Structure 1
Amino acid sequence: MTEVGSNIRQLRLDKGKGQTEVAKALGISVAALSKIENGQTDINLSRLIQIAKYFEVSITAVLYKDAPANIQPSQNIAEISSLKKLLADKDTEIMKLQKKVIDLYDKLGL
């Protein structure tokens, strides 16, 4: 999250915006934006989309420093679909791991 926060800070500075202005536009407090920029707070997908729209860049440009910054609506839709699939895959993986842990507890009689 530190890299994403750093990317958001750089986007803000590149656009010549202050934290107060950006926080107000995003509907969050300056403290919340500061925590995002410092990597102290995770951001969800909807906030990521909101930030990309505000800065008029692709979602990838928010996530990765060297990504192209041009906003392409069709690319954003593809990125969102791809990110949703990755999240679903991770959720499935987590559920499998949770089941393994529960099975191990059952075997140990805990």
Structure 2
Amino acid sequence: MKDFAKSIRKIRSDKGYSQDYVAMKLNISTSSYSKIERGQTDPNLSRMKQIAEVLEFDLGEILMDKPPLTIGNTNDVNPSEGYSFVMRKEFDESLRLILELQRKIGELSAKLEQRG
């Protein structure tokens, strides 16, 4: 469970959330949440799911020892490259929006060709 603790600490920190905020969303004390992040308390599966919902990450990836999806840099890569930490849910939504924009651009291009 130490890997789970490390992972949620990094995800929380990357999102800019405080332990107080996450504990409040989980309806537990900050002290109890802090123990989970430090690996002093092993949360049950139900609590892990709640943490995953609050921090918006894929619990399956963490439990299967896969790192969360990242695009570009994390702390060990040059941050000046202009990329940032992205969760799978955010990535999927961004990809959906990009594909929708590409479709609309294609439709507009076709209309312009018909006029021109």
Query: TM-score normalised to the size of structure 2?
Result: 0.55
Q: Which has the higher helix share?
A: 1
Mapped pair 1:43 → 2:43: yes
For structure 2, list consecutive stretches of 5 or more residues without a partner in the other structure: 70-86, 90-116
1:66 maps to 67
Instruction: Report the count of equivalent residues.
Output: 72
Once the two structures are superposed, residues 25-74 of structure 1 have per-residue CA deviations (whole angstroms, 9 ceiling, x without a partner) of 11111111111001010111111111111111111244335143414xxx
Spell out structure 1 runs of 4+ moving beyond 4 A: none
Letter in 1 for 2:12: R
Structure with max Cα Rg: 2
2:26 aligned partner, one-letter code: L
Partner-residue secondary structure (3-state), 1:53: helix
Kindly, what percent of the aligned residue pairs are identical?
44
Q: What is the RMSD computed on CA atoms of the aligned residues?
A: 1.9
Give the TM-score normalised by structure 1.
0.58
